[in-house]
Amino acid sequence: MKEKFYNYIKNLQNTITSQFEKIDGKSIFKEDIWEHPEGGGGKTRIINNGNIFEKGGVNISSVTGELPEIIKKQLKVQDSSFFACGLSLIMHPLSPMIPSIHFNIRYFEMYNKNLEISDQWFGGGIDLTPYYIFEEDINYFHQKCKIICDKFDNSLYKKYKKNCDNYFWNSHRNESRGVGGLFFDYLKKNEKVSLKNLYKFISEIGDNFLLTYIPIINKRKNINYTAEEKKWQEIRRGRYAEFNLVHDKGTLFGLKTNGRIESILSSLPPIVRWEYNFTPKKGSKEEKLIKVLKNPIDWIN
């Protein structure tokens, strides 16, 4: 499975980066190949200063190593030898009218003292972070997520959307990072679901990723925006950075397992503002975003 999944994400990385380069029309991804000190490595691909994307990363990795105690407790495992591979993507558009997007799929194996697989699971998610609310875009995004889930089980969308709303919650701000999507972890085979079927579910999300995002880009890329709207985007990017540095488990895992710092922090926005006690004007489009982020919304209904 680990070979099958890694081959899949290598091809998916190629597909996504080539399509994003076509959309951007100016910048291309620069590839950085790196090695993990305990085994394995990855390919980090970064795009900067484009027509559409101010900064973005589409990264894959495949690493082995030993888990530190803090991560063993987090993952609730006894063994420490692990294999992990995955694709992690974050795109920060230049225009504040286009939302940022995060997408991640990953596969884990744990090994006992005899180097036999003691546990294995999939995880991942996809979520949208707008700076201005276009309800039809958010509805479209969630509809696509639900269609993917419904192919496998009609109960999955509601479950994984709730997981996403709970996970991407900036508790120190009492607001969501964005407008949600799907989030799942520890997807393991059992008497009802095989590892093969879990792989099909994960790859279905990967295969449909571009369809969830590109139509939104095309719809909003030609909208003019002001310097004040760009400033608002940069203030909201600060909230994005806060979540990644304070709450995100993936960031913590990378830092605690001797991961590559440049790749781990490549998800951070390029230009960010922290203005003291900034409050949007009442009745403004900016205030509308804040109100939306205070409570999870059923975007489909």
- For the stretch 78-128, pLDDT in tens is 768 889 999 999 999 999 999 999 999 999 999 988 888 989 999 999 999
Amino acid 25: pLDDT? 96
Token pair of 44, please? Answer: 């980090």
Residue 169: what residue type? W
Residue 32 pLDDT > 90:
yes
Going by pLDDT thresholds of 50, 70 and 90, the confidence category of residue 49 is very high
The predicted model scores a pTM of: 0.93
Of 120, 115, 126, nearest to 2 by C-alpha is 120
Amino acid 26: pLDDT? 97
Amino acid 131: pLDDT? 98
- For the stretch 269-285, pLDDT in tens is 999 999 999 999 999 99
Which residues are tagged catalytic?
A: 102
Position with higher pLDDT, 17 vs 254 = 17
Of 181, 11, 180, nearest to 87 by C-alpha is 11
Calpha distance 279→241 (Å, rounded) = 19
Token pair of 3, please? Answer: 């070979």
**SS in 3 state form for 75-140?**
HCCCCCEEEEEEEEEEEEECCCCCCEEEEEEEEEEEECCCCCEEEEEEEEEEEEECCCCCHHHHHH
